[in-house]
Amino acid sequence: MDLSAFYFDFDNGYDAFSLDNNRQTLSDQPGLDEQKTQAIAAKLTYQGFEQFTLITLLSLADSDLAYGYDEDWAYEGISAPEIIENPDYAYWEYSSTDYYFRDKSTQTIELRALSNKGNELFNGSTSWVAGVYFKQDDENLERQYTYLASDFTSTFDSQSMAIYGQLDSQLNSTLTLTTGLRIEQRSADYINSDGFSDSPDDTMIGGKLVLSYQQNDNAFWYGSINRGYKAGGANTDGSLPDDLRTFDPEYLVNYELGYKVSLFDNTAFIRAAAFYMDRSDIQVKSSKTIVRDDGSSEFIAYLGNAATGSNVGVEIEANWQFNESIEFYGALGLLDTEFKGFINAEGASLDGRQQAHAPNYQFNLGVNIRPSEDWLINFSVDGKDGFYYSDSHNERSKSVELINASLSYLQDEYQVKLWARNLTDEVYANRGFYFGNDPRDGYTDKQYSQLSEPLVFGITLDYQF
């Protein structure tokens, strides 16, 4: 019996936006991002059966979450005539806050049976796993928003039940076939204070088929077909119309071919994989801008379903222990994505366009240097291509390369590491939006971006009891 208990208490600010697209926020009512969570988990393993081992997994979690922000990103007087260029926009600013308070509870139970050695199927060639899974999710929301006549409330309760099984068959000395199937039934009830309710009910089927070939002691091939799914849900934030409140499950079929090889007397290895993903009812992060009578706007992010799409790519990872003191490593990912038949919330066709947050390339290169058993020096470079910020507009990020380093002192019981990320203090964004929110320019639509972390450094101590 393995038991775990957790308690989390986070109390952070929430002021991630700047009208000037820098790290100098102008908000006069900085927000909050708070979470308190209590959770327990248990894993019970029973080996008293001859044919199989029974594993029981239990978990309970309760959370109180709150976040809120200054919607106008500004302060009273920001558009005073003496500080703006165009006096026609004098005193155009508005003042608004948006706060969300959630109570969330989750309970799960899973029973999993694994075949014992000597009790495999089909003349001892096939090991097996079978299981059942249940999950209960309950969430209550209260939204306190300046422009609402009264607080908005909603409840979203869901229940998931699933059965699954997997067979691992040793066809001969070099070939292994893995087959798996999972069937999940998910029902939910959503209701809000606006009088809207919905009760989605979905049966989702996933599975996999993997053929592995052990060419020799140093080379391994595999080919796989996997079908996965992502459950639907409800958008609880923002002043959305009823037709955008809920979204459907997404399905994906992934075809993959992989190769792994060891080189130079096992001092180096290369792992490569090529894949093609066929996606349907893609869950995309979209946004909607509602313009008020005073010229200000409410920006709402939500999940919706695109039509279909595809992702095709290649991933390569390599490592070389050059000698006892020097190790090189690296990884490269190439990706090409597109939507098919997708019309976004603004009515624009994105057919053939790349999906958001899907850079065409990403890479990592690094070296570990160990001048002695007690010291380890690391240098690495991470890079990625630019990408679309959203499926609601055509704003893009720029490509970026970051340099990181660390110096570690290693002992049997503890490790002290001095580290730094983004050594050259590159300024780059990770999120981007396009709408009007600055009274100084008359709420002209333009790009607003959230900047990633600048140069960050610190010291970490790890101690093993």
**Which residues span the domain enclosing 36?**
2-463
Give residue 181's Cα distance to chain centre: 24
**CB neighbourhood size of 291 (10 A):** 12
Which residue, chain included where needed, has tokens 């290649």?
314
**pLDDT tens digits, one per residue of 401-457:** 999 999 999 999 999 999 999 999 999 999 898 888 999 999 998 999 999 999 999
Average pLDDT over residues 229-252: 85
Q: pLDDT grade, residue 294 (50/70/90)?
A: low
**CB neighbourhood size of 358 (10 A):** 16
Cα–Cα distance for residue pair 272/277, rounded to 1 Å: 17
Say what the pLDDT of residue 295 is. Answer: 62
Say what the pLDDT of residue 13 is. Answer: 84
Say what the pLDDT of residue 106 is. Answer: 98
pLDDT for residue 289 is more than 80: no
Whole-angstrom Cα Rg for the chain? 26
Tallying the residues shown for the chain, one arrives at 465
Average pLDDT over residues 56-65: 98
**pLDDT tens digits, one per residue of 222-240:** 999 999 999 998 887 767 7
Q: pLDDT grade, residue 152 (50/70/90)?
A: very high
Average pLDDT over residues 245-274: 96
- Summarize the chain as % helix, strand, coil (round to 5): 5, 65, 35
Q: pLDDT grade, residue 253 (50/70/90)?
A: very high
Q: pLDDT grade, residue 292 (50/70/90)?
A: confident
Minimum mean pLDDT among 27-31, 211-215, 363-367, 376-380: which range?
Answer: 27-31
Say what the pLDDT of residue 239 is. Answer: 75
Average pLDDT over residues 196-203: 93
Say what the pLDDT of residue 402 is. Answer: 98
Say what the pLDDT of residue 392 is. Answer: 83
Which residue, chain included where needed, has tokens 């690495």?
380
Say what the pLDDT of residue 296 is. Answer: 64
**pLDDT tens digits, one per residue of 318-334:** 999 999 999 999 999 99
Residue type, 366: G
> What CATH number is given to the structural domain containing 311?
2.40.170.20
Say what the pLDDT of residue 359 is. Answer: 97
User: Phi and psi of 87, rounded to 5°?
Assistant: -65, -15
Cα–Cα distance for residue pair 217/456, rounded to 1 Å: 43
Cα–Cα distance for residue pair 309/284, rounded to 1 Å: 11
Which residue, chain included where needed, has tokens 């790290």?
23
The tokens describing 179, both together, are 């087959």
Domain count of the fold of the chain: 1
Between the alpha carbon of residue 85 and those of residues 78, 134, 339, 442, 443, the distances in Å are 12, 61, 42, 11, 14
Average pLDDT over residues 239-248: 82
